[in-house]
Amino acid sequence: MSARVGTAKLVGQAVKRREDPRLLRGGGRYVADIKLPGLLHAAVLRSQVAFARIAKLDVERARSDRRARLVLTAAELPEGTAPLPCIDVMPDTKPAHQPVLARDIVRYVGEPIAIVVAESRHDAEDLLERIAVEYDELEPVMDPERAMEPDAPLLHEGLGSNVINTLSQSVGDVAQAFAQAAHVYSERIRVQRYHAMPMETRGVVADWDEGAGRLILFSSTQFPHILKSLLSGVLGLPEHRLRVVAPDVGGGFGVKCEFYPEEVVVPLASMRLKRPVKWIEDRYEHFVSASHAREQIHDMEVAVDADGIIVGLRDQITTNNGAYLHTLAITPTSIASAILPGPYRIANYSAVGTSVLTNKVPLAVYRGAGHPQAVFAMERMMDLIAADLGIDPAELRQRNFIQPDELPFDRGTEIVLAGKVVYDSGDYPECLRRALDLIGYSDARREQARAREEGRYIGIGIGCYVEETAIGPYESATVRIEPSGHLLVYTGSSPHGQGHVTAFSQICADEFGVGLDDVTVIHGDTDLVRHGVGTFASRSGPIGGSAVRQAAAIVREKCLKLASHLLEVSTEDLELADGQVSVIGAPGRLLSLAELAAKAAPPNPLPEGLTHDLEATEHFEVPGIAFAYATHVAVVEVDVETGMVTPLRYGVVHDSGTLINPLIVDGQVQGGVVQGLGGTLLEELVYDDSGQPLNASFLDYLIPAIGNVPRIEVAHMETPTPLNPTGMKGAGEGGAVGSPAALVNAVEDALRGLGVKIRSTPVSPEALLSLINEARAAR
Amino acid sequence: MTLADFLREELDLTGTHLGCEQGVCGACTVHVDGRTARSCILLAVHVDGAEVTTIEGIAGDGPLTAVQQGLWEKHGMQCGFCTSGFVMTITELLALHPEPTEEEILDALGGNLCRCTGYTKIVEAVHEAARLASGARSEGRAA
């Protein structure tokens, strides 16, 4: 048992991570690293056209090759293999589900058609070339507005339309607000299609144990329990015959909280062959089959009074959902529609959100999931309004903010799966003030003026937002004290870089007054952790952490109760600290956690009310959404000759309630900001009119490299949420939520006076030069 | 067979990771005769006779090196997938430039992509590693 130095709490401290030494030595075990005896390798045949009937699919030359162990097409799938489900369906959602393997029709370049299994990946890929596919090509539709026209090609004949969901939000009396407004602004704001693009692609190893009648599935996933449940449904295999394990996962960002066809066919192959089968996605496949993100249009109208107070807001949201409903398909539209008004009072608001099918890769969630697009749209409007009315952009926001004493504030909107939007706690005005201080706003404005005199263009941009985090329905934790005195924590959270092992060790260690090394955190394995939800939507710190805290608290009580019985002293006279229970005022009379655990083990007799083992399981249920919030401020320089944008400085004041580990939270914010920067300045998934992806590699799809980014300064406010015992809100996504807004506002600010209005991303050099030249021509 | 596949499949040294197999992301970076190389676009036969060091060989069974320690101290890693590549590149950088400037750091690490950290803490980690390494050298001299 390691000694605790003093009684300093670990929660709140920037302790370095326990995960790191193993990873630093190359000891990580990602799905591609898993080797099992008899392992076979799979390769997936994917559609090379965007929309076609499969006229011929001839696998015989592949199947009869001596290297082939198995070739599976849709025709060979077991009777009753269900299509892939969507878990965020709303009442109106149409069933545009993706079949596990395409049968008669393919709907996007990259769609899986067949799987080949061989002794090596090389052989499997060679065998793909022996499969003959003939396509009767159909006219594809790539643009969502075109897809909604009555004569547009239909993605799914039986559905009669390419619109797969319509939702709406409505608060107050928007018509009246607009009728009485002093000014009305309307803009079309567009966000492009881009991608989570974790450094580790997807992958699965499926191992069917014929003797036990059980399947083990290793998958690079963010939600092993949900995956198990969904797989059970699609395969028709009861859950107790499935074990899902998330090994070390090299980033997820939402693209891995999805249930994919490969997670079905590779297990089926293993079950057929009675040998383990591995499939590791290559980067090209990741570009054309892992969920895409963001692509959304906002047709906004804002009604404003003479002082710049927003009295009404209307939005028509159109999301390009790609060819099918994926697992979390409606969420980006739902979230965008629900939080668009942001931290502003806006009493009258209505939105309609339409999810539309096109012949692109299916779209789902990516860090922020609807927030980045909506915040971008709203914050762009704020700056456009500020410029038009001659009000400083920070001042305009201050005039419109919900004040701290108005919280909890019922937004009047709802988010699918998560519930009602009621802002729980926070101080938006103070957050903006501190962010301006952090960046040195007045100095930056002076610098901007000086630079202009020198013919240089520097701009300052603000992005304020409120963000749904800590969603339910619950998270699980089991805490147990071993006879050695060591603490075991089993969590349903499934980390992929967020440091949960460290954070949950801090929480648990604090409950017992022990050191971090006295705790082991176990996650990712559905055989070891019975129930769980997983890591996405910024929920694991607050919800997973609360479950750990509550389970640990119950185990604490058990320790005290057992000690009371053994020491024959009332629990009021006992204290648990520094890894032991002692009698207050009688220092020699104590029991260590190890002694207590040993006494709690069977077959020791126990007092009434105590069961064997010092163990407790809690499923922490979420009473409501916790809303994190932040202000981002960007300072950029724009080269008007090349269109290049150079971010100079970046600051974030971020409030995610009580912090377990500020170092980890800083890392999350910084990482998110840079992903947002990528999506704002660099990244776009480009398709041509025939539906071919044009830049499906790192050579042409540019994610930020170290030279593209400024240092990102993060400061924290900690306004606890009343919604969980730890007071925590989620912190994983916010960086990506505020950055497109802050950066684009900065670019436009840099070009103030040139007549440049930016309404879409990415702000590539070409796009910006085009706007600059158009503005010049118009003057 | 690429060097990366040879290391990972034939020698079971899975600490070297594959992020793109096109030579862009740097996750597969190893040392060949003491200089960084992208193992995903090198054929194994090309290094016949050369000395190859992978992430496993950086610290071996010993304590973490200054580079690894720096990344640990400054939270310069999250999911760990790009980390092996960064350790190899930073190790080479500090061997060539024991007190690197910000520009030298950005230049040297431009070929290693990270999607989790946003790079701020990686840069801090390099400065910390340089500090730790120079401290160790001073101690070595004093000993």
Distance between CA atoms of residues A42 and A262, nearest Å: 10
Going by their DSSP bridges, the two strands B35-38 and B52-53 should be labelled as unpaired
**Nearest 5°: CA angle at A333, between A329 and A335?**
105
pLDDT of residue A117: 98
pLDDT of residue A502: 98
Q: How many CB atoms lie within 10 A of CB A614?
A: 27
Helices B83-96 and B66-73 pack at an angle, to 10 degrees, of: 120
Confidence of residue A5 (pLDDT cuts 50, 70, 90): very low
| Cα dihedral A524→A530→A535→A541 (10° resolution) | -110
Backbone angles phi, psi at A545, to 5 degrees: -65, -40
Selecting from B75, B120, B122 the residue whose C-beta is nearest the C-beta of A16 gives: B75
Percent of chain A with pLDDT over 70: 99
Distance between CA atoms of residues A619 and A547, nearest Å: 6
pLDDT of residue B133: 96
Q: What is the pLDDT of residues A21-57, one digit of tens each?
A: 999 999 999 999 999 999 999 999 999 999 999 999 9
Q: Is the dihedral of CA A596, A597, A602, A603 positive or negative?
A: negative
Question: Among all chains, which residue has been given the structure tokens 């190899």?
Answer: B88
Q: How many CB atoms lie within 10 A of CB A443?
A: 9
Ranges of beta strands (E only) in A221-309 are 242-245, 277-280, 296-304
What letter represents residue B15's amino acid? G
Name A409's Cβ contacts closer than 8 Å, sequence gap at least 6. Answer: A402, A422, A423
pLDDT of residue B57: 98
Task: Output the six-digit token pair for A538.
Answer: 């910024």
Q: Is the dihedral of CA A501, A543, A363, A117 positive or negative?
A: positive
Residue of B nearest to A20 (CA): B72
Q: What is the pLDDT of residues A411-467, one digit of tens each?
A: 999 999 999 999 999 999 999 999 999 999 999 999 999 999 999 999 999 999 999
pLDDT of residue B11: 98
Q: Which residues 30-59 on chain A approach chain B with CB closer than 8 angstroms?
A: 30, 32-33, 35
The strands making up B29-32's β-sheet, listed across from edge to edge, are: B35-38, B29-32, B52-53
Q: Which residues 139-168 on chain A approach chain B with CB closer than 8 angstroms?
A: none
Query: Which residues on neighbouring strands pair with residue A767, listed in sequence order?
Result: none
Say yes or no to pLDDT of B74 above 90.
yes
Chain B neighbors of A32, CB-CB under 8 A: 8, 14, 17-18
| Cα dihedral A217→A222→A224→A226 (10° resolution) | -130
pLDDT of residue A3: 45
Selecting from A19, A28, A671 the residue whose C-beta is nearest the C-beta of B116 gives: A671
Backbone angles phi, psi at A224, to 5 degrees: -55, -40
Contact with chain A for residue B24, Cβ under 8 A? yes
Query: Which residues on neighbouring strands pair with residue A58, listed in sequence order?
Result: A132
DSSP state letters, A645-706 = EEEEEEEEEEE-BS-S-HHHHHHHHHHHHHHHHIIIII----B-TTS-BS--STTTS----G
Helices B83-96 and B120-142 pack at an angle, to 10 degrees, of: 50
A6, B65 contact by CB (below 8 A) = no
Q: What is the pLDDT of residues A307-343, one digit of tens each?
A: 999 999 999 999 999 999 999 999 999 999 999 999 9
What letter represents residue A750's amino acid? A
Say yes or no to pLDDT of A710 above 70.
yes
pLDDT of residue B119: 98
Distance from CA of A251 to the nearest CA of B (A): 6
Q: What is the mean pLDDT of chain A?
A: 96
Note whether B112 contacts A666, CB cutoff 8 Å: no
ipTM over cut 0.90: yes
A192, A366 contact by CB (below 8 A) = no
Name A358's Cβ contacts closer than 8 Å, sequence gap at least 6. Answer: A140, A141, A142, A143, A144, A147, A155, A162, A320, A321, A322, A323
Distance between CA atoms of residues A730 and A713, nearest Å: 19
How many Cα neighbours within 13 Å face the side chain of B1?
Answer: 16
Name A633's Cβ contacts closer than 8 Å, sequence gap at least 6. Answer: A435, A436, A438, A439, A441, A460, A461, A462, A463, A650, A651, A652, A742
H or E element at residue B96: helix B83-96
Confidence of residue A472 (pLDDT cuts 50, 70, 90): confident
What is the arithmetic mean of pLDDT over A338-362? 98
What is the arithmetic mean of pLDDT over A175-189? 97
Percent of chain A with pLDDT over 90: 97
pLDDT of residue B139: 82
Say yes or no to pLDDT of B143 above 80.
no
H or E element at residue A776: helix A765-778
Query: Which residues on neighbouring strands pair with residue A652, listed in sequence order?
Result: A632, A714
- Residue ranges of alpha helices (H) inside A464-572 are 500-512, 545-567
Q: Which residues 89-118 on chain B approach chain A with CB closer than 8 angstroms?
A: 105-107, 109-118
A65, A127 contact by CB (below 8 A) = yes
What global pTM score does this model have? 0.97
DSSP state letters, A35-57 = --TT-EEEEEEE-SSSSEEEEEE
Nearest to A650 by CA among A343, A449, A444: A444
Contact with chain B for residue A707, Cβ under 8 A? yes
The strands making up A349-356's β-sheet, listed across from edge to edge, are: A163-171, A349-356, A310-320, A296-304, A183-191
